[in-house]
Structure 1
C-alpha cells in the first residue's frame, strides 16, 4: 500500500501576515507594497483587502503584533531557562543570535524599525510597538524581581537590557557576526548578578 503524504494548506490570511512580517523585516514599511505582499503570499489583492480592509497600515499593525510575539517567545525561552536571570539573559542572547544566523542575518525584529518609520504618522503602529516593548520589559523584570531585585531597579534594568540587545542586534546584522549579541549578553549578565548582590 502506498502511503500518501498529507499536504497542509496554510490559510490565506496567515500566508498574507507571514509574508508581511518577512518583507517588513527585510525592507521596512516604506519599502514594502501591498502588491508585493500579495505576490509573496500567493494571494490576490482582493483576498488581501478582504482580510485587511484598511490596507497596509492594518497589515503592518497585525504583523508587528505577530513579530512581537515571536520576540517575546524567544525572550521567555531564554529567561525561563534558568532561575538565575543572568544565565537567562545570556541564553536569550544566544537564541536571538541563532535566529539571526538561521535567517542569514537578513531578518531583524521589525517592531522597532516599523515604529521608527511611522512615528507621527501611524498611532496604531506606534501603540503596537509600545505594547510589545512593555511585554518584553515585563518578561525580564519579572525574572529579576523573582531573584530579589527591587521593583524599580528591575524595571530600569529591563529597559536598559532591551536597549543594549537592540543595539547589539543591529551590529550583529551589520557585521554578520554573533559577537555583539553574545557580548551584550555577557555584560548584561554581570549587571544582573550585581543587582542580585545588592
Structure 2
C-alpha cells in the first residue's frame, strides 16, 4: 500500500543526508556551522530553493498527492538538511495521516515518524537560540539562512514588524522589531555574518 512506499522513501532520509541515524546525538549548532563553512554553500540560493520546494510540496499536498509532497520535502532535505520548515512539514504531514481506518501498526509508525521530524525541527531551532531570547547583541542568535529568523520568531510566538541592519564588533546583524498575539513587543538580534561571507 501507499504507506509502504512512503516509509521506504522517507525513512532513508537521514542515511542519505549523512547527518546520522540517531538525530538525538547530533550537535545541530556545530553541524549547521560546518555546513555553512563549506565554500560551496550559497545561503541565498538555498533560501530560494527552500521556498520554492516547500511551496511545491504544499501544493502537491492540497492536490491530494501526499506521496509526491513528502518526496519533494525529502528532496529538499537532501539539498539542505537543516530546513526547519521541511522537518516541521514532514512531521505535521505524518501526524495528519493517522487515521482510525489504518492498522494500529501503521498509526504507531506514523506517530513515531511525526515525533521524530518535529523533534528535529525543535532541535534545530534550539541550536539557533541556545536558550536565549535572541534579544540583544550579547545573546544574539547566529543564523545560516534568513528563513531561520522567521522560524525562531514563529516558535517564540512573534511576528516581524520592522527590520534593520547593524554592525557590532565587526559582525553583521539583522535587528527585528516583533510583536506577539498579546501585543508584547520585543527586539530580536540575529548574527548574519555567515550570510555576508564570500560564499554568497
**TM above 0.5, one fold?**
no
Q: Larger C-alpha radius of gyration, 1 or 2?
A: 1
TM range (shorter): 0.3 to 0.5
Higher relative contact order (CA 8 A, sep 6+): 1
Please report the TM-score for the alignment, with normalisation by the length of structure 1.
0.32
